[in-house]
Amino acid sequence: MKTSFSSFIIVFFSLISLAQGEIKPLQVGTTMPLQDQELRSTDNKSAKLKDMMGEKGLIIIFSCNTCPFVVGGKSFEGWEKAYNGLYDMAAKLGFNLVLLNSNEAKRDNGDNLEDMKKRAAEMAYKMPYYYDGNSLVANAFGAKTTPHVFFFNKDYKLVYTGSIDNQMEQNKKRHTDYLINAMNAVNKGKKVKMNTTPPIGCSIKRVQ
């Protein structure tokens, strides 16, 4: 029985996630931690987490410049290509969307601030791209992978966490846009039905 490359890579990074079992993502309903944490972006501006909030909420995607789940590979185009579209939709609905790079152990191998600036320019990111030094925010949120989504409402309460969609799930019956569905639900004042999904991607490279 042949195993596709995409299936292999999912299993591989799932094993990495299991190895990081001590990392527990925030649970839905939790108030955003480190609201006063100030981060620097690729446009050389700094902002506190609480000041990144949009009128109706804030979507944080932990991302990077080096993971094939983000930038794409032979069998998957990468979620990065969806970022600008998600940003546009979020802005239209009153949410802000930002990216955080927490790959502290890869600062000398593709994920330092200068690398981030180059990537943001190359991909014409519409959203701010922040440098999470020492993985402080990632550790506080329990972020596991790139990408990993954390969506907070206007009251700083977590309403959705997990994957952007189910493109990489092996046994999916149909395509499901988890994050888009969450945005639509919150915009209508409804609870997010599927509010937690498994994050799929490369492990965030923390310094041990």
pLDDT < 70 positions in the chain = 1-21
Chain position carrying tokens 């925030």: 26
The CA-atom distances, in angstroms, between 84 and each of 127, 133, 199 are: 7, 24, 20
Helix H segments across 63-168?
Answer: 68-71, 83-93, 113-122, 136-141
| 208 part of a folded domain | no
Q: Give residue 44's domain range.
A: 5-203
| 132 part of a folded domain | yes
The whole-angstrom separation of Cα 169 and Cα 19 is: 20
CA 145 to chain CA centroid, nearest Å: 8
**Domain CATH for 22:** 3.40.30.10
Beta-ladder partners of 71: none
| 162 part of a folded domain | yes
pLDDT given for residue 21 in this prediction = 54
| 185 part of a folded domain | yes
* Helix, strand or coil, per DSSP, at residue 173: coil
| 35 part of a folded domain | yes
pLDDT given for residue 124 in this prediction = 98
CA dihedral of 76, 80, 82, 86, whole degrees rounded to 10: 150
User: Helix count (H) and strand count (E) of the chain?
Assistant: 6, 9
User: How many structural domains comprise the chain?
Assistant: 1
